[in-house]
Structure 1
Amino acid sequence: MSARIFQRPKNAMQSGKALLAEWILEFAPADAQKPDPLTGWAGSMDTQRQVQLKFPDVEAAKAYADKYGIEAEVHATPPRRLKIQAYADNFR
């Protein structure tokens, strides 16, 4: 069983920074999704795909993965680059 550990990205549509500090352990899909013959909706028998575990820091997420034998890959959060711009720059 493999998983990835990542930090929640900031929502581009909002200026708030709530829930950005938590780290998420998300399991990798075990099999491909197939269309249901009756409804046509895509789905699979993999229930681990629905699980997201939240941790306060990356060390806690790694410790959980090590304790339960989960091969976890940590995806570092890219640094945020702020584009400082004045309102007056819109009219130049």
Structure 2
Amino acid sequence: MSARIFKPAKTAMQSGAARTKEWVLDYDAAIARQVEPLMGWTSSADTRPQVRLEFATKEEAIAYAERYGIPYRVDEPNPRHLVRKSYADNFRFGRLGTWTH
């Protein structure tokens, strides 16, 4: 059973960077999910993918995986490009865009 170590991205429903500072260790599923015949729900006998561990640094997550002999892969985060723009820039005299009204 392997694990994935990554830094979660900002969700589309938030404007801040909450819960994106930690590194997360998620387990990969060892066996495939099956459709339960009675209700039609998907289920699995493997409970490890339900575990999500959070660490302050990438090195702590790697040390944990190595300490317990968990094979892992590290997904580096993509850099986030912040564009700082003032509301007043929409009405600036020398602005490049054209007015639509």
Distance in 2, matches of 1:78 and 1:90, equals 33
Partner of 1:33: 33
State the shift of 1:43 in Å.
1.1
TM-score, normalised on structure 2? 0.81
CA distance in 1, matches of 2:98, 2:61: 44
CA drift of 1:56 comes to 0.6
The normalised TM-score by structure 1 is: 0.88
Given the superposition, is the C-alpha separation of residues 90 and 27 from structure 1 closer, same or farther in structure 2, using an over 3 Å criterion? farther
RMSD (Å) for aligned C-alpha atoms: 1.9
Structure whose CA Rg is larger: 2
| Mapped partners of 1:48, 1:42: distance in 2 | 16
Percentage of pairs with the same residue: 46
Q: Between Structure 1 and Structure 2, which shows a larger proportion of strand residues?
A: 1
Cα 1:40/1:82, change in 2 over 3 Å: same
Q: CA deviation at 1:85?
A: 5.4
Counterpart code for 1:34? Q
What SS does the aligned partner of 1:81 have? coil
Number of equivalenced pairs? 92
Cα offsets for 1:37-76 (capped at 9, x unmatched) = 1110011111101010110110000000000000110000
1:77 and 2:53 correspond = no
- 1:35 and 1:10 map into 2 onto residues whose CA distance is 32
CA distance in 2 between counterparts of 1:85 and 1:28 reads: 41
How far 1:8 sits from its partner (Å)? 1.3
Give the secondary structure class of the aligned counterpart of 2:15.
Answer: coil
**Runs of 4+ with deviation above 4 angstroms:** 83-87
Residue aligned with 1:54, SS: strand
